[in-house]
Structure 1
């Protein structure tokens, strides 16, 4: 007996991740992406520059690395021109561009860099733009967005690309990514130009290992909700990270 094909309404919504630079998503939350795509959820990256101001790698090299890395994680990707690496600005026009993407893809969960100031300024700007875009996408009367129906996401979750970017004012949501570590590692290693001077792969794997030890699993990634999470009942709650 053949299985009944799923209707479009039964398919999981696309996981939408925004990054300022060609490697941000992979280093910051690539394990989460791999975990979700392995479970059958489609994922799409929106990369807001091509690394034009980076110390290592040309824009063409970094674009190719990002495309390869996304494919290794089971995701698709697109690039935006918002002024270029180190020139991103927080404007209504840019937020509307991101809101249009949210309306086009209609995700339930959106990932973006944290808003902590002590990191690359482009990370903060993209995080703010995504936060604004998620709201603008909901408003049916926005003239610039009337070509597509309004859409409200379920959750905006922030990821920290570096340890310094982890917010101190909110609790983390820890995602068990243990099964996704091989795919995540391969995706990070695809960014060869960025590994010329620093071992970012070891840094991210070590962070995930510490989070895993905290929560009783091999590896975990911390995400930070923009808003309080809502559960239908206590039965949906899993364990906490208190292991010591």
Structure 2
């Protein structure tokens, strides 16, 4: 990507709060560095214990505004009914062609979490492949597009991929802003102390890396480097 061009990041979430809880601090950092960010929300939390769909949409739009992201909602069958089907992947491919992102973020593929999360993650992965193929009849009205990289985020501790190398990002300067973004989802704080959970995860990871706070992403594919000169240090403080 040209250094003079604004980086574009497309982020998918199954529910109205997934993106903010799972990778909100990273996105705040990227937005502060000039990235263009777009949220795609695949339900309105219709099956949630707390908060009406209307309330949760308002909360999500407010949070996206604080991040500096544009936002859209898709009909993928409704909360707790999202499946990783070819039709959904094709829908996601259409969004990818419209937004033309450099980077794509999605929920992790770990099975033992809310089933909507891994369903969306799989459909995003498949959609990224379909977005590349110019000959797909259903997508011919939109120019084919290939992303640079797909990264997964973990919404809960149990959704973190085991045995896979993480990209650990210093978000110490974003922690207060991130708290404000997560606090937009007030309806969900009645269900669980999500804000404290995410901040504590970030604090623990940060201390492991020798910074105040950090957040992790996992690469969908091996990453390409020009040489060992561009390899960052490891999280382990030998």
Q: TM-score, normalised by structure 2?
A: 0.97
Instruction: Give distance in 2, aligned partners of 1:19 and 1:200.
Output: 16
Unaligned runs of 5+ in 2: none
Number of residues paired by the alignment? 237
Contact 2:49 2:191 in 1 (8 A): no
Matching residue of 1:219: 213
Among candidates 230, 233, 236, match of residue 239 of structure 1: 233
Partner SS state of residue 227, structure 1: coil
Unaligned runs of 5+ in 1: 1-7
Instruction: Give distance in 2, aligned partners of 1:91 and 1:145.
Output: 16
Matching residue of 1:71: 65
Instruction: Give distance in 2, aligned partners of 1:187 and 1:76.
Output: 14
Contact 2:169 2:216 in 1 (8 A): yes
Instruction: Give distance in 2, aligned partners of 1:197 and 1:98.
Output: 30
Matching residue of 1:4: none
Taking the TM superposition and a 5 Å limit, the aligned residue runs for 1:8-87 are 10-87=4-81
Instruction: Give distance in 2, aligned partners of 1:102 and 1:153.
Output: 8
Q: In 2 relative to 1, CA 9–145 (structure 1 residues): closer, same or farther, beyond 3 Å?
A: farther
Among candidates 160, 178, 183, match of residue 172 of structure 2: 178
Instruction: Give distance in 1, aligned partners of 2:19 and 2:231.
Output: 27
Q: TM-score, normalised by structure 1?
A: 0.95
Matching residue of 1:141: 135
Instruction: Please give the per-residue CA displacement for 1:105-149, whole angstroms capped at 9, x wherever unaligned.
Output: 111110000010110000010000000000000111111111111
Q: Cα distance, 1:241 vs. partner? A: 0.4
Partner SS state of residue 85, structure 1: coil
Instruction: Give distance in 2, aligned partners of 1:213 and 1:241.
Output: 10
Partner SS state of residue 119, structure 2: helix
Matching residue of 2:104: 110
Matching residue of 2:126: 132
Instruction: Please give the per-residue CA displacement for 1:22-78, whole angstroms capped at 9, x wherever unaligned.
Output: 000000000011000011111110000000110000000000000000111111111
Corresponding position: 1:200 with 2:191: no
Corresponding position: 1:97 with 2:91: yes
Instruction: Please give the per-residue CA displacement for 1:196-242, whole angstroms capped at 9, x wherever unaligned.
Output: 13110110001111111111111111111110011112222221101
Contact 2:11 2:37 in 1 (8 A): yes
Contact 1:13 1:106 in 2 (8 A): no
Instruction: Give distance in 2, aligned partners of 1:165 and 1:45.
Output: 20
Instruction: Give distance in 2, aligned partners of 1:139 and 1:197.
Output: 42
